[in-house]
Chains A and B, each alone.
Chain A
Amino acid sequence: MRWQRGLWLFLVPSFGLMTLVLLWPLGYAAYLSTFDYYLGSREMHFVGLANYAELLGEARLWHSLWTTIVIALGSVAAEFALGFVLALALYRLTFSARVFMIFLFLPHIITPVVATLFLKWILTSNWGLLDATFLTFNLNPPDWLGDPIWAKICVILADAWIFTPFVMLVLYAALQTLDQAQIEAASIDGADGWRIVRHIILPSLVPVIVFTVSVRLMDVFRFFDTIYVLTGGGPGTATETITMYTYQLGFQLLQVGKASALGIITLIIVAAIIATFSRVLQRGYGRS
């Protein structure tokens, strides 16, 4: 049809804006990554790929990558275990599910910085609610945010507190689309609840689960607010993810060139995740 030709014009403002504000800065970051450049200094030295070489030879980068992976796997596992149980419980509940949904959803929808502060006031040593409770019973609590291992666990739990509601909601929505007749038939045939979950419900949720896992994995490479507020990457570099390290490089050490190089490396990793899951993602996003 002829009149559809002009449709392209409708895309111009939005894509023009994205080119200007997303793609151009992206190109500029790639350009900066080839310079030895400190923010505020007048001199820029072209160094080619030296920033990349330096980063890849650095223990701190690999450490931050490892931390990112640990936090990603820990929190995604926790979110799915808990999110699935909650979704199933809400699905089975024949009344008031909607009210629960609102309350369960609160941690996800409030400002991440605020949500993290709420958790921090629980975890802070001595005066936090957790320590105050421990001390009431004369128990000696660990230093939640000051111990490298506990700090990692706290970051994972914080991420889980904020993102479990999201996973719960997606799984709950998927459960609503299940074939009721099949479940009823199975239960008439004498299958108990667990077998129905194991053999009917879980298999039909696999596409949604894979889709959500891959989205959450990519999210972890953007995960910043919570770590910044809760631990600042500490103690030492115990909770320093690759994003946090980029922030330190760029905005604390002001090594803009090197930070840009690290940003580009992150982009490559995320692109690799997208490429790996692209089939699933393309099918998954069509569903919503």
Chain B
Amino acid sequence: MKTRRMARVRNQTLLFIGLAVFTFINLVPLIWAALTSVKNPADAFTVPPTIFFQPTFQYHREVWLDRGFVHYLINSLIVSAGTVLISVPVGSLAAYGLSRMPQRRASPILFGLFTIRMFPHMLLAIPFFVMGSFLNMIDTYPLLILALVAINQPFTIWLMYSFFLDIPRDLDEAAAIDGCNLWQTFRIVILPLARPGLTVAALFSLLLSYNEFLFALVLTGIQTKTLPVAIASFGGEDVSDWSISAAGAIGIMLPIVVIMLFVQRHLVRGLTIGAVKG
């Protein structure tokens, strides 16, 4: 019995060390970028690469203040907030409707939504751009927000649907007997109970719109450029700008890490339904 327990402890330790080593190696690109962002030029390009050095936060300041990233951050926030504020209410309404329908009616609609989620986005980007040009709406917030809300709908509906299903129908029926109409039932009885779901849906929609690249690339310009577009056009070839780009990239990543800590418990539900990547 004792040897068995020792074998168990040994196995667990080996497993832990193996995972720890893999996790570290897996995060080397991220760690490397974080180090680059606080390196002086003298330390940045050396062979062999330096690991110990005097850190500087000069580049973090420079990228946000002198290179206009504050402006792009504001754009990103406007677009993300707009998307969440439209997408979650509209999606919740539809999700509630579907969750209270007979299964045989809701199922094909839900599968249709799944199919829409699988649309190649490039196919939509072209007509969006052409129509946006006709309407003179390229480089405006509403166009990008509208596009993001639309591609976000299937995911939001799916997620909220799964939360509404968890709320017993008896409550709806009780509310109906008490004289609530459908809207009152939804608004007064059901929606408050679905609040955790709303938070999760809002956070995932926020991530999706904050991370989205293709539509932002095609539909924005100098005025409304979001952070991913800015860093992509910035962070490329010129080696002398590396420290600044790295500082920008790390800065863009930080809010996501914070959100991640909040949604952590719901990752499985959120991701197996939709996927954060657009």
Interface residues, chain A, CB within 8 Å of chain B?
3-4, 6-11, 13-15, 17-18, 20-22, 25-26, 28-29, 32, 39, 86, 89-90, 92-96, 98, 100-115, 117-122, 124, 127, 129, 132-133, 135-136, 161-163, 166, 169-170, 172-173, 215, 218-219, 221-222, 224-225, 228-229, 243, 246-247, 250-251, 256, 259-260, 263-264, 266-267, 270, 274, 281-282, 285-286, 288
Contact = CB atoms under 8 A, between A and B. Distances in A.
Indicate the member of B111, B213, B217 with the most A CB atoms within 10 Å.
B213
B245 A117 contact: yes
B249 A32 contact: no
Interface string B114-154: 11101111111111111101000000000000110111010
B127 A288 contact: no
Contact of B23 (A25, A100, A136, A266): A100
A27 B116 CA distance: 14
Contacts, number: 275
Given A22-B124, A224-B213, 19 more contacts: A7-B97, A9-B182, A17-B153, A21-B149, A105-B267, A111-B211, A113-B228, A113-B231, A114-B231, A118-B32, A122-B32, A129-B29, A163-B277, A166-B271, A173-B272, A246-B122, A246-B123, A266-B120, A267-B123
A224 B181 CA distance: 46
Contacts of A124: 239
Contacts of B252: 111, 114
Interface string B202-243: 000001001101100110000000011001100110010010
A120 B249 CA distance: 12
Interface residues of B, number: 100
B48 A117 contact: no
Contacts of B176: 3
Contacts of A163: 277
Contact of B127 (A26, A120, A135, A282): A26
Contacts of A274: 115, 118
Interface string B237-272: 001001001100100110011001100100111011
Contacts of B107: 282, 286
A107 B107 CA distance: 33
What are the 10 tightest A-B residue pairs by CB atom distance, in nearest-first order?
A10-B97, A263-B123, A21-B150, A14-B94, A25-B127, A136-B48, A118-B29, A113-B228, A28-B127, A29-B127
Interface stretch (B14-22, B58-66, B67-75): B14-22
B151 A22 contact: yes
Contacts of A17: 90, 149-150, 153
Pick the most buried of B128, B186, B267: most chain A CB atoms within 10 A of its CB: B267
B26 A104 contact: yes
Given A7-B100, A14-B91, A274-B115, A104 B23 contact: yes
Most buried by B among A8, A22, A93, A111: A111
A94 B12 contact: yes
A172 B269 CA distance: 12
A10 B33 CA distance: 47
A98 B261 CA distance: 11
B168 interface: no
A27 B246 CA distance: 41
Contacts of A166: 271, 275, 277
Nearest to A286: B107
Nearest to B176: A3
A107 B126 contact: no
